[in-house]
Chain A
Amino acid sequence: MNAAADNKIIVVIPAFNEGIVLKTIVDELALLKYIPVVVDDGSRNDLANLIDQKKAFVLRHRVNLGQGAALQTGIEFARRLNADYIVTMDADGQHDIASIPSLLEPIFSGETDVALGSRFLVKADTKVPAKRRLLLQLARIINFLLSGFWLSDAHNGFRALNKTAFEKIQLTENRMAHASEILFELKLRKLRFKEVPVRVVYTEYSMHKGQSAWDSIKILFDLILHKLFR
């Protein structure tokens, strides 16, 4: 099953002020022969010092631009490294590395160009906190209104892309609105996509790093501006 040994699978991890959990993620990814690319989005402390530099590429934004910008930088870098496949995941430990193969599977089989992780397609142990669940439902409706795609999980950064997809997709939304922007891109570039169940682990740490209700208002505002000034 070890597809990572035959293909160049680059895992892009946008990171901002992360803790030791990032080191663990990089270690585990490297062990499974994935190639981690950490994009330090202008953290207070240089994240390159936090992780094992033998195991990952590290890029650093000199100022904080936002997760969307960090993702795009990572994707750009992966293109230059001649990636075969790109996986994107959060740096806060929310995303379970064990889910990567299931994300990649429909791409390997040629069924789809992009696999979007969904925490709501998992039958068992979906312990999404109630407040988070409500926000995600609202985001779902907004995404549908703006993109026409009815997804089960609106804001999940756990994704996999094949070459056709990552050569075309261009994220211009620097902050969190990238999660909706990627849907606009999928539509515009006529890329196939599929939602794949992934496990999302909520820890106190990840909840603390996560989005608040106020953040979602800011995302909505960014989205409206995005549509106004294309």
Chain B
Amino acid sequence: MSGIQLVLLTGVAFICLYFVIRLKKKLLDLVLLLLMIAAAVALIVWPDITTRLAKVLGVGRGADLVFYISILIFWFIILKLYDRVRRLERSFTDIIREDALKKAITPSNETEPGQ
């Protein structure tokens, strides 16, 4: 086993530990997570899998294939996060607006604002 494999496996182990502690209530999430962990471990221990897959797809090296797919995934995540931010902003705006409407200052002589 090479050094990089040890580093990656340690990282995966920590991520796994963190999520198991946080998500222990939801069975489905846990199963999904364990599947992903298993896939990650398999790809780290037997890197030939990615290389063979890369060859099939016409990419030179396995590492390159992983890199390209990561870019796509990151773009997707960024867009989802932006969407989340915008929805958050909308509810935040509603609250601030409601507060402003409630506390509106009325001119002291409302009937004759021209005075």
**Complex: A126 Cα to B99 Cα, angstroms:** 40
Render B100-113 as a binary contact track against A, CB cut-off 8 A, 1 for contact. Answer: 11011111110001
Interface assignment of A194: CB less than 8 Å from any CB of chain B: no
Task: Write the residues of chain A forming the contact surface with B, with a CB cutoff of 8 angstroms.
Answer: 30-33, 35-36, 39, 48, 53-63, 65, 69, 72-73, 76-77, 80, 172, 174, 225, 228-229
Whether B90 is near chain A, meaning CB under 8 Å from some CB there, is yes
User: How far does the alpha carbon of A106 sit from the alpha carbon of B62 in the complex, in Å?
Assistant: 67
> Which of A33, A54, A65, A172 is the one whose CB lies under 8 Å from B96?
A65
Give the total number of A-B pairs whose CB atoms are below 8 A apart.
71
A229 and B83 in contact, given A56-B113, A174-B93 (Cβ under 8 angstroms): yes
Q: Supply 16 further A-B pairs (C-beta < 8 A) apart from A35-B113, A225-B83.
A: A30-B113, A31-B114, A36-B113, A53-B105, A53-B107, A53-B108, A54-B107, A57-B105, A57-B106, A58-B104, A59-B104, A59-B105, A65-B93, A72-B97, A73-B97, A228-B83
B82 at the interface (CB under 8 A from A): yes
Residues of A within 8 A of B90 (CB): 172
Q: In the complex the two chains form, what is the Cα distance from A137 to B64 in whole Å?
A: 44
Smallest CB–CB gap between A127 and chain B, Å?
Answer: 32
Chain B binding surface, main DSSP class? helix
CB B100 to nearest CB in A, in angstroms, measures 4
B2 at the interface (CB under 8 A from A): no
Kindly state the separation between the CA atoms of A33 and B114 in the bound complex, as whole angstroms.
5
Partner of B105, one of A30, A32, A58, A63: A58
Secondary structure call for the A interface: mixed
Quick check: B93 and A59 within 8 Å, CB to CB? no
A56 near B82 with CB under 8 A, answer no
| A206–chain B nearest beta-carbon distance, Å | 25
- A215–B78 CA distance with the chains assembled, in angstroms: 22
A80-B100 contact in complex given A30-B114, A69-B93, C-beta closer than 8 Å: no
Q: Known contacts A30-B114, A228-B79; decide if A62 and B100 are in contact (CB<8 Å).
A: yes
Closest Cβ of chain A: how far from B81's Cβ, in Å? 11
In the bound complex, do residue B109 and residue A73 qualify as a contact, i.e. CB atoms below 8 Å apart? no
Complex Cα spacing A42 to B108, Å: 23
- Given A174-B93, A225-B86, A229-B83, do A39 and B109 touch, yes or no (CB 8 Å)? no
CB within 8 Å for A61 and B96 given contacts A53-B107, A172-B90: yes
